Chains A and B, each alone.
Chain A
Amino acid sequence: MKFTTLLASAAMALGLATSAMAEDKTKVGFVYVGPVGDGGWTYEHDKGRLAVEEHFGDKVETVFVESVPEGPDAERVMTQMALDGADLIFTTSFGYMDPTINVAKKFPNVKFEHATGYKTADNVSVYSARFYEGRAVQGHIAGKMTESNIIGYIGSYPIPEVIRGINSAYLHAKAVNPDVEFKIVWAYTWFDPAKEADAATVLIEQGADVILQHTDSTAPQAAAQEAGNVVTFGQASDMSEYAPFPRVSSIIDNWAPYYIARTQAVMDGSWETVNTWDGIREGMVEIGEISDRVPADVKEEALAMKAAMAAGEYHPFTGPINKQDGSVWLAEGEVADDGTLAGMNFYVEGLEGEIPQ
Chain B
Amino acid sequence: MDLGEINPVLLIASLMVAATPLLLAAIGELVVEKAGVLNLGVEGMMIVGAISGFAISVETGSPWLGFIAAAIGGAVLSLLFVLLTQVALANQVASGLALTLFGLGFSALMGQGYVGIKPPDMADIHIPVISDIPVIGPILFQHDPILYLGIALTAAVWATLKYTRVGLILRAVGENHDAAHALGYKVIKIRILAILFGGACAGLGGAYISLIRVPQWTEGMTAGVGWIALALVVFASWKPWRALLGAYLFGGITVLQLNLQAAGVAIPVEYLAMSPYIITILVLVILSADKSSAPASLGRTFHASH
Contact = CB atoms under 8 A, between A and B. Distances in A.
Whether A and B are associated in the same complex: the answer reads yes
Contact of A193 (B6, B104, B223, B263): B223
Interface residues of A, number: 46
Contacts of B269: 158, 186, 188, 356
B262 A202 contact: yes
A158 to B, nearest CB: 8
Contact of A185 (B10, B104, B116, B258): B258
Interface in B206-224: 209, 213-216, 218-224
Contacts, number: 117
B213 A194 contact: yes
A219 B258 contact: no
Contacts of B104: 67
Nearest to B118: A225
B255 interface: yes
Given A35-B108, A206-B263, A222 B216 contact: yes
A193 B214 contact: yes
Contacts of B273: 186, 188
Contact of B218 (A193, A201, A223): A193
Contacts of B290: none
A167 interface: no
B59 interface: no
Question: What band does the interface of chain B fall in when counting residues whose beta carbon is under 8 Å from A?
Answer: 35 or more
Contacts of B262: 152, 183-185, 202-203, 206
B255 to A, nearest CB: 6
A163 to B, nearest CB: 13
Interface string B250-275: 00001100110111101011100100
A222 B224 CA distance: 20
A198 B108 contact: no
Contacts of B11: 205
Interface of A: 34-39, 67, 152, 158, 183-189, 191-195, 197-199, 201-203, 205-207, 217-219, 221-223, 225-226, 239, 241-242, 352-354, 356-357
Interface of B: 5-7, 10-11, 14, 18, 21, 104, 108, 111-112, 115-118, 209, 213-216, 218-225, 254-255, 258-259, 261-264, 266, 268-270, 273
